[in-house]
Amino acid sequence: MLVVGMVCRSTQWGISLERKSTWLGSILLALFIAGCGGDRSATSPTERAEPTTVSVLTTAEEATAGASQSAETEEPEPASPAPTVAEVETPVATAGRQEATATPSQNSTPAARATRTPERASAARFNPQDVSLRLEVVAEGFAEPLFVTHAGDGSGRVFVVEKGGVIRLLKDKQPFLDITDRVGAQGSEQGLLGLAFHPRFRQNGYFYVNYTNQDGDSVISRFTAPGDRQRADAGSERVVLTEDQPAANHNGGMLAFGRDGYLYAGFGDGGGANDQFGNGQNRNTLLGKILRIDVNRGSPYAIPQDNPFRGEEGVRAEIYAYGLRNPWRFSFDRDTGDLYIGDVGQGQYEWVLYQRAGTKGGQNYGWPITEGDHCFLEEGCNREGITPPVTEYTHDLGCSITGGYVYRGERYPALRGAYLFGDYCDGRVWTLHRDRAGKWIQTEMLQEEISISSFGEDEAGEVYITDLASGNVYQVAASTD
Ligand SMILES: [Ca+2]
């Protein structure tokens, strides 16, 4: 049990780090599946099936599992905060692919969707049947890269984050920041985990990182790149926020500025397994949350006036959303400001959460009452107040989601409006978009022998993928069939 337990606890990355390197990975994966409640037979991680079905609530088994909620599904109450359960639909085979669907977030009624602004309607023009994806290697040789982003300063530079504590330029691998002296990266989910440049980086030289220190605790710090902004000063660290971590895994790590100018930060539930520390629903801790803080005011930060729980006793005012297990990458659609979150599951599901721009925040995404769209701690759980995911997939197709970006680049117009995301373990990349009726459509676009640790954007909106295992950085490319 101990071995299985250890494997289960490392759902994000631990098991799959061995995937390509040793046969041990296969054994661990088998143990993981057996121990975490998966009921399929273990397959070798190296076996690759043709990309076909995206099984989001499409198998008979899943339909049965969701049967207890079917009454709610048939008679949704659009104005109610009650959760909406993903629809079970027969996949429609299209050009060798099959699609699965889930209902839109319950916070917009069909009528509201019909009156979306033109920029939202444009998202529906993406049609996965018209597009083929491929990955093009743009750089090799990074050490465990797990993020890629840009500075928004007009320089066109792309920055690659290495787990051990170095940020390098994509172009020539020159170091931009090296803080390996203070980063603790021993655990598979520890290290330098996030990077966000200040929206006025060109003027102030500020950027923010999220890392685990040598005690294993989380640190969000500001650094400065002085002068010509070519290289950061490792001695310029100003700690913004620290958070004790009770276990090595589920540290979150994502940082991103919203269009409101506030810094958003993702934290996992602290780790272990099954939210053993009880953080997901505990609003008096930053663990299991997405935070929203104002780094332009206060010392070291201020709470935005309109944060959802500001002034509420016994609740951390930094919290923007809660009930998260381990939000491994979230992003804002650069056109709409909509928030997409990939949340890593426990033993059976991986899911995408969505929050429309302009919503106040305060959403409860359910963990550990729910795992994805399914009761987790107890059957027949009370889902009142829980915002369900807009899509999910089972561990038949992967084991650890990596949230991505809505493509808004120039190079591949047919891909515009598609949210790209993937799975770390199985190397699958999906698109997620809404059709003209507002229904979410998830489509598997490719599967490669890579360990997708992150997606990222450059200044022009082109999308990249980092492969933790090989050290390669890929650009997502599209062609029209
Ligand atoms: Ca942790």
Of the pLDDT bands very low, low, confident and very high (cuts 50, 70, 90), residue 10 is: very low
In a domain, 344, yes or no: yes
The CATH number assigned to the domain holding 206 equals: 2.120.10.30
Same domain, 132 and 40: no
* Range of the structural domain that residue 34 is part of: 1-47
Specify the number of domains making up the chain: 2
Please tell me whether residues 36 and 125 are part of one structural domain: no
SS (H, E, C) 84-146: CCCCCCCCCEECCEEEEEECCCCCCCHHHHHCCCHHHHHHCCCCHHHEEEEEEEEECCCCCEE
Q: Give the Cα-Cα-Cα angle 441, 461, 393 (nearest 5 degrees).
A: 25
Mean pLDDT for 368-376 is 98
Is it the case that residue 25 has pLDDT exceeding 90?
no
Backbone angles phi, psi at 27, to 5 degrees: -65, -45
Residues 6+ apart with CB under 8 A from 228: none
Number of CB atoms found within 10 A of residue 3's CB? 12
Look at residue 51 in the predicted model and tell me its pLDDT: 34
- 251: CB partners within 8 A, 6+ apart: 189, 190, 193, 212, 218, 245, 267, 268, 271, 326
Alpha-carbon distances of 46 from 15, 28, 100, 398, rounded to whole Å: 14, 13, 25, 12
Domain identity same for 440 and 377: yes
- Ligand 1 centroid from CA 82, angstroms: 31
Q: 214 CA distance to ligand 1 centroid (A)?
A: 13
pLDDT tens digit string along 138-190?
999 999 999 999 999 999 999 999 999 999 999 999 999 999 999 999 999 99
What integer pLDDT is reported at residue 13 of this predicted model? 59
What spacing in Å lies between the alpha carbon of 205 and ligand 1's midpoint? 30
Assess whether 253 and 157 both reside in one domain: yes
Q: Which pLDDT band, with edges at 50, 70 and 90, does 55 fall under?
A: very low
Q: What is the pLDDT of residue 101?
A: 39
Same domain as 101, residue 43: no
For residue 14 the two structure tokens come to 């631990």
- Measured CA to CA, the distance from residue 445 to residue 312 in angstroms comes to 44
Q: Ligand 1: distance of its center to the CA of 99 in Å?
A: 35
For 9-23, 130-144, 381-395, which range has the lowest pLDDT when averaged over its residues? Answer: 9-23
pLDDT at 12: 61
Contact 397, 423 (CB under 8 A): yes
Specify if 20 maps to a domain. yes
* b (16+ CB within 10 A) / e for 414-428: bbbbbbbbbbbbbbb
Please give the distance, rounded to the nearest whole angstrom, from the Cα atom of residue 258 to the centre of ligand 1.
25
Distance CA 480, CA 242 (A): 46
Contact indicator for 430, 406 with CB cutoff of 8 Å:
no
Confidence category of residue 136, pLDDT binned at 50, 70, 90: very high
Which residue reads 């059957």 in tokens? 379
* pLDDT at residue 107 is higher than 90: no
Half-sphere exposure of 402 (CA within 13 A, CB side): 27
Q: Where are the beta strands (DSSP E) in 333-416?
A: 339-343, 349-355, 363-364, 370-371, 374-375, 391-394, 401-406
Residue 452 lies in a domain: yes
CA of residue 249 to ligand 1 center, whole Å: 4
- Do 19 and 140 fall into the same domain? no
> Ligand 1 centroid to 292 CA: how many Å?
20
Q: What is the Å distance from ligand 1's center to 454 Cα? A: 19
Q: ∠11-446-170 over CA atoms, to 5°?
A: 80
CA of 176 to the centre of ligand 1 (A): 27
Higher pLDDT, 2 or 342: 342
The length of the chain is 481
Whether 22 and 142 map to the same domain: the answer is no
Candidates 194, 211, 195, 193; CA nearest to 151 is 195
- Between 282 and 39, whose confidence is greater? 282
Evaluate if residue 82 carries a pLDDT over 50: no
Q: How far is the CA of 332 from the centre of ligand 1 (A)?
A: 24
Residue 83 or residue 14, greater confidence: 14
**329 alpha carbon, distance to own chain's centre:** 3
Q: Which of 47, 66, 84 is the last residue of a domain?
A: 47
- What percentage of the chain carries pLDDT values higher than 70? 74
Q: Which helix (H) or strand (E) holds 224?
A: strand 218-224
Question: Between these two residues, 73 and 403, which has the higher pLDDT value?
Answer: 403
Q: Is residue 461 part of a domain?
A: yes
62 within a domain of the structure (yes/no):
no
Name the average pLDDT for the chain.
81
CA of 17 to the centre of ligand 1 (A): 17
Q: Which residues pair with 393 in a beta bridge?
A: 350
CA of 337 to the centre of ligand 1 (A): 29
**What pLDDT was estimated at residue 207?**
99
Whether 148 and 476 have beta carbons less than 8 Å apart is answered as no
Q: Does one domain contain both 101 and 41? A: no
d(CA 81, CA 106): 7
pLDDT of the residue at 198: 98
On whether both 179 and 41 belong to a single domain, the answer is: no
Distance CA 320, CA 248 (A): 24
> Strand 452-457 vs strand 289-293: parallel, antiparallel, or unpaired?
unpaired
Ligand 1 centroid, distance to 6 Cα (angstroms): 14
Does residue 75 have a pLDDT over 50?
no
Residues 178-216 pLDDT 10s: 999 999 999 999 999 999 999 999 999 999 999 999 999
Residues 162 and 40 in one domain: no
pLDDT class for 125, splitting at 50, 70, 90?
Answer: confident
Domain membership flag for residue 283: yes
Which residues sit opposite 352 in a β-bridge? 342, 391
- CA of 267 from ligand 1 middle (Å) equals 9
Same domain, 279 and 360: yes
**82 within a domain of the structure (yes/no):** no
Please tell me which residue, 94 or 351, carries the higher pLDDT value: 351
Same domain, 40 and 160: no
Higher pLDDT, 446 or 41: 446
Two tokens, residue 473: 């950085």
Map residue 71 onto helix, strand or coil: helix
Q: What is the pLDDT of residue 246?
A: 97
Residue 276's alpha-carbon distances to 9, 36, 246, in angstroms, are: 10, 15, 10
pLDDT digits (tens, 9 = 90+) for 254-313: 999 999 999 999 999 999 999 999 999 999 999 999 999 999 999 999 999 999 999 999
In 309-418, the DSSP E strands lie at: 319-322, 327-332, 339-343, 349-355, 363-364, 370-371, 374-375, 391-394, 401-406
Residue 357 has pLDDT above 50, yes or no: yes
CA distances from 34 to 308, 356, 417, 447 (A): 40, 37, 38, 24
**What spacing in Å lies between the alpha carbon of 326 and ligand 1's midpoint?**
9
33-37, 289-293, 311-315, 431-435, range with the lowest pLDDT:
33-37
CA distance 428 to 448: 6
CB neighbourhood size of 129 (10 A): 12
Q: Is residue 76 part of a domain?
A: no
Give me ligand 1 centre to Cα 480, in Å: 42
